[in-house]
Amino acid sequence: MDLGLRDRVALITGGSAGIGLATARLLLAEGARVAICARGAERLAAAAAELRALPGARVFAQPCDVLDPAQVQAFVAATVAELGRLDVLVCNAGRSRMQRFQETTDAEWREELELKFFGLLHPLRAALPHLQASGQGAVVVVNAVLARQPEPHLAATSAARAGLLNLTRTLATELAPRVRVNSVLLGTIESEQWRRRYREAQPGIPEEAWIAQLAAERHIPLGRFGKPEEVAAAIAFLASRQASFITGATLDVAGGVQRYV
Ligand code: NDP
């Protein structure tokens, strides 16, 4: 299936690791040009070097915090200057907050809501004129099953993700027909976040065994965590010409852990 992404330009926030980096690899393999950002300059430079080593890859990378609108404007402008256009925006930068309601301060609530909303709003504002001019403009928002299925140990993250999903649906209507807006709703995906949690938890068993134990505890029907590459495939599809009549939709990439119908 030709995704029709050849020579299109995709900007991926949080592209230095995990799902963002896997998405960059896949879109490059599909012939797109790719821009990535992250806050940490060193890891971003290493990711960009890895991507540029792929055959024919055109990659632009610039440190940028998605919560700083001036940095985001500058990154988007530099992407268009370097790569010539902008067709696809993947809002992926972020993390989740493992805290129950009674452990979460007001400041932490504000931080969580800011990250989930402005992680989309800032990049979208800056990218929108280019996406509208593209003729194939697409936004893919990386969200989670939590948006529909809240978990008590992720109280603020679940609420913020529900708000983000609601906003995404509004945007799909407002930005049609020139720009499509869709979401992937993730279950648990192996990535740097989980490697960090493994180091912090110090469970005294190998990482692979710890992950398998968590997958069993969470009753994931497919019996494991997802891989970043499996999320990347869903993102690439929603960003592609093959999804040209799909907007305002969600695609669960969760191994069946979602219980809603
Ligand atoms: P990783 O921690 O592996 O990667 C996160 C990326 O985002 C890094 O490149 C990081 O770089 C960047 N980033 C984080 N905050 C910012 C910021 N403010 N501005 C710019 N870049 C930022 O995470 P994953 O790949 O696992 O997660 C990707 C997305 O998927 C996140 O939004 C996460 O919440 C979501 N998700 C992940 C799930 C999972 O199980 N892995 C489940 C559900 C949702 P740096 O720190 O240097 O800025």
103 and 205 part of one domain: no
What are the tokens at 73? 């404007």
Percent of the chain with pLDDT over 70: 100
- Summarize pLDDT for 72-86 with one digit per residue, the tens: 999 999 999 999 999
pLDDT the model gives residue 99: 97
For the entire predicted model, the pTM comes to: 0.97
195 and 185 part of one domain: no
CB 63 within 8 A of CB 37: yes
Task: For residue 96, report the distance from its CA to the centre of ligand 1, in Å.
Answer: 8
Residue 155's Cβ-side half-sphere holds a number of Cα atoms within 13 Å equal to 12
Q: How far apart are CA 140 and CA 138, in angstroms?
A: 7
184 and 212 part of one domain: no
Confirm whether 4 is domain-assigned.
Answer: no
168 and 219 part of one domain: no
Give the chain's length.
261
102 and 198 part of one domain: no
The domain that holds 171 is classified in CATH as 3.40.50.720
DSSP 200: H
209 and 246 part of one domain: no
- Summarize pLDDT for 215-250 with one digit per residue, the tens: 999 999 998 999 999 999 999 999 999 999 999 999
Per-residue pLDDT band at 256 (split at 50, 70, 90)? very high
What is the average pLDDT score of the chain?
A: 97
- Summarize pLDDT for 140-186 with one digit per residue, the tens: 999 999 999 999 999 999 999 999 999 999 999 999 999 999 999 99
155: helix, strand or coil = helix
108 and 180 part of one domain: yes
Statement: residue 260 has pLDDT above 90:
yes
124 and 26 part of one domain: yes
- Sheet bearing 250-253, strands edge to edge: 59-63, 33-38, 9-13, 88-91, 137-144, 179-186, 250-253
pLDDT the model gives residue 39: 98
87 and 150 part of one domain: yes
pLDDT the model gives residue 132: 98
Longest alpha-carbon distance in the chain: 53
Q: How far apart are CA 79 and CA 187, in angstroms?
A: 31
| Ligand 1 proximal residues by C-beta, below 6 Å | 13-20, 37-40, 43, 65-67, 92-96, 142, 144, 186, 188-189, 191-193
Confirm whether 233 is domain-assigned.
Answer: yes
111 and 219 part of one domain: no
Statement: residue 47 has pLDDT above 90:
yes
Confirm whether 236 is domain-assigned.
Answer: yes
**163-169 contacts, C-beta under 8 A, 24 or more apart:** 163/113, 163/116, 163/117, 164/116, 164/117, 164/120, 165/250, 167/117, 167/120, 168/120, 168/141, 168/143, 168/248, 169/248
Confirm whether 258 is domain-assigned.
Answer: no
**Cβ neighbours for 120, distance < 8 A, ≥ 6 positions apart:** 91, 141, 164, 167, 168
146 and 207 part of one domain: no
- Summarize pLDDT for 101-127 with one digit per residue, the tens: 999 999 999 999 999 999 999 999 999
What are the tokens at 137? 């403009």
Task: For residue 115, report the distance from its CA to the centre of ligand 1, in Å.
Answer: 11
Residue 235's Cβ-side half-sphere holds a number of Cα atoms within 13 Å equal to 30
115 and 196 part of one domain: no
Instruction: Give the atom of ligand 1 at the shortest distance from the alpha carbon of 143.
Output: 44
Per-residue pLDDT band at 194 (split at 50, 70, 90)? confident
224: helix, strand or coil = coil
Task: For residue 15, report the distance from its CA to the centre of ligand 1, in Å.
Answer: 8
Q: Given ligand 1 and candidates 36, 117, 191, 195, which is best to mutate, with the most ligand atoms within 8 Å of its CB?
A: 191
Task: For residue 216, report the distance from its CA to the centre of ligand 1, in Å.
Answer: 24
Confirm whether 261 is domain-assigned.
Answer: no
Q: Which domain holds residue 208?
A: 191-225
DSSP 189: B
